[in-house]
Structure 1
Amino acid sequence: MIKVGDCPTESNGKICARISELDSLRGVAALSVVIYHFTSIYPRLISGRNLEFVPQIHIGYFGVEIFFMISGFVIFHSVKSAASIHDFFLARFARIFPAYWLSILIVVALSIFTEKSSGFSSKDIFFNLTMLQALMGFHHLDEVYWTLTYELCFYACIVFAFCACRAAKLPIELALLIWLISETIIRANGIQIPYRFSLIFLLNYGQFFIIGIAFFLVYHKCSRPLTYIVLLWAIAMSAFGANPHTPASGFKAYFWIALACTCVFYWAVFLKPAAARFPVLIYLGRISYSLYLIHASIGYFMLREFDRIGIPDFLAVLLAIASAIVIAHFIHILVEVPGQRLLRSSFRRVQSNILAALHSA
């Protein structure tokens, strides 16, 4: 039996070649969320009026579910291939924080410029810098940050599950099955879970991360019958419906749309159609993290300005999308990538100094 940590397609813990189709999926997911926010959230919560000749693309919300599937696939691989759990967390810190900190600076700067900073306390800003604000009971400076809380909680959960299964020499699917059983009992019986616990244990969204993990095991030929049981169960979890505290709760066909997202993931990654290697989508996937972080703050600001000077709504939305992409591009090449390299090299240097000091002691 193949135990957790053993994968016939990997050797010496090295990371497999980058899967370009995953980048394309990231690009599709990021663009979907941007379009959803600009066409559906902006007119409803910001401008207070419907945009002329601009349809509301509500389905773009499901870019989030696709993001979570991708995270399940990619992060599980990162945990498996990391030299140590310590190295995994340092690598993730270097990956996600440089662009995130800049996005906070942009949000605060725009709020000051538009004289709308009264809602931000110094504590809100401080705890947002840690990315733990929701767990600490503080507001997100930008509401798009809510998914990052789920990402962090997923990191902690999958590391714990991976280490426990490896120590006990059990397949990772067993830990995933325990989560699915627990979640099914909670949701089937309508048990109310405190908000922080719902975040920590990935209530409403854990199944998407699990789908990604199961697809990883299938893709890398590490699957067993239990893998497919976990996969099908995770897919079925969406029949309980969406998180009632999000706009997705309005989707009566939530299960079918979530199933369609799962099929799109399978189609892109396993069947590798030419469309999934479209250069524009791959490019959007590469800058997707920066685009996701700044699109709302930048886009809403620009849409308000375009409205003020009388630019037609349809053109304003197109210009806002293009502007967000351009700004995300520069953040990616000037902050996200070099910041990641700088932090990683700094962590390696500190670790080397500590080891040298221990050897000389």
Structure 2
Amino acid sequence: MLAYHFTARDSSAWGEGRHPWEVWPDVFRVTRYGHLGVQLFFVISGFVILMSAWGRTPRAFVVSRATRLLPAYWVAVLATGFLLVVLWPVGDVAVWEVVTNLTMVQSALGVAHVDGVYWTLFAELLFYVLVTLLLLVGLTRGRVLVLVLVWPPLAALAHTSGQDLLATLLNWYTAPFFCLGMVLYLIHRWGPSLLHLLLLGYSCALAVGVTATRFPDGAPSVTGATPSLGVVLGTVSVIPLLVWAAARFAPRGRAWRWLTVLGALTYPLYLLHEYWGWYVLHLVAPRLDRWAALALAIAVCLALAWAVHRLVERPLAPRLRRALQQGLDEAAAESASGAAADPGRTSASTTA
């Protein structure tokens, strides 16, 4: 994703009038496909979110997701907002837009994202709502299989029939990728049964289909070139295999602990890299070799991600978790006591 935004996606980071594909003609042919990292992200999310939800209560799931997403997101919005409002006002961002972005539901209000990568988080939130509903009715393998079967076509039907609100709420574009991840988790947990494999192929076919319908999805306007449809669809087809292999053959042991640290940085890095990386390139590209400028931009983004993880996520997440858990427990207790009191009041009034 970093390679895509820094060497393929159009911006003024390399200088006015200099397009990234002109600076990087040798690597652009590969990095222009980096936008497919979003599809990979959704497949991984489908796998990980279902795994984290299994065996949990709805309240525990909501708390775990909120504490994972919100602290880093709030800091990233404020940091990028400060960059674009004060230091480098290239995005025409208003302070009120920064404030609204803190809710993570700015898409529902029609408010522009402070950073374009935030669009994926609204899709994530809608997926979390769906998983929470599953937890409320009871999360079972059978219900997940039914969901995988009916969710993507229903969402796509809402889109093709012009029901825009319903299509948005049902995540019509991302549904097949989330479903791919969920099926991969079922295979990881229960094995590759014939039904699992059939639904894997079904979800993969739907993922290829929605990708093809959006091809080239504005790529010429942001990368200066139309990507190969064959490469795009081939990459989407391989994504499930990559996720399965990562889960199946993930290295374990203390010697590989650095991978855990690197994994912890991926979320804040994703949130911060685009505009902060472009800003660094804007400052140093006129003075440094292109490779040195790129390396410095990546290093700064990694340093920012580490700072957010170490100074924000690690100390704040436990406190937020306790506060949310306490608040939800108190609300549940009040609801339970209110429900217990109602029959008595009803009985008394009836007797009178």
User: TM over 0.5: same fold?
Assistant: yes
Change (3 A) 1:181 1:351: closer
Change (3 A) 1:286 1:334: same
1:132-166, Cα deviation, whole Å (9 max, x unpaired): 01121110000010111111111112222454465
SS state at 1:140 partner: coil
Equivalent residue for 2:312?
A: 335
How many residue pairs get matched? Answer: 320
1:264-316, Cα deviation, whole Å (9 max, x unpaired): 11222224479xx96654432121001001011210110100124x2122211
Contact kept, 8 Å, 1:71 with 1:209, in 2: the verdict is yes
Q: Which moved more, 1:253-262 or 1:144-153?
A: 253-262
Contact kept, 8 Å, 2:58 with 2:132, in 1: the verdict is yes
TM-score, length-normalised on structure 1?
A: 0.78
Contact kept, 8 Å, 2:180 with 2:204, in 1: the verdict is yes
Equivalent residue for 1:313?
A: 290
The 5-angstrom pairing of residues 1-361 of structure 1 reads: 33-43=1-11, 47=15, 48-49=17-18, 50-51=22-23, 55-56=27-28, 57-82=31-56, 84-114=57-87, 116=89, 119-164=92-137, 166=139, 170-183=142-155, 185=157, 190-194=160-164, 196-221=165-190, 225-242=194-211, 243-244=214-215, 245=217, 247=219, 250-253=227-230, 254-272=232-250, 281-308=259-286, 310-351=287-328
Contact kept, 8 Å, 1:124 with 1:139, in 2: the verdict is yes
Query: Which letter does structure 1 place at the counterpart of 2:204?
Result: I
1:175-218, Cα deviation, whole Å (9 max, x unpaired): 2211133256567xx54452x54432112221111111111111
SS state at 1:119 partner: coil
Higher-Rg structure is 2
Unaligned regions of 5+ residues in structure 2, if any?
A: 221-225, 342-352
Identity %: 25
Structure 1 distance, partners of 2:265, 2:144, is 31
1:65-92, Cα deviation, whole Å (9 max, x unpaired): 221111111111222222x212321221
1:213-235, Cα deviation, whole Å (9 max, x unpaired): 11111111177543332211110
Query: Which letter does structure 2 place at the counterpart of 1:174?
Result: V
Structure 1 distance, partners of 2:80, 2:107, is 17
SS state at 2:127 partner: helix
Structure 1 distance, partners of 2:256, 2:243, is 15
Query: Which letter does structure 2 place at the counterpart of 1:238?
Result: A
Structure 2 distance, partners of 1:184, 1:113, is 41
| Greater RCO, 1 or 2 (C-alpha within 8 Å, sep 6+) | 1
Unaligned regions of 5+ residues in structure 1, if any?
A: 1-32
CA deviation after TM superposition for structure 1 residue 102, in Å: 0.5
Structure 1 distance, partners of 2:124, 2:74, is 16
Query: Which letter does structure 2 place at the counterpart of 1:181?
Result: P
RMSD: 3.1
TM-score, length-normalised on structure 2?
A: 0.80
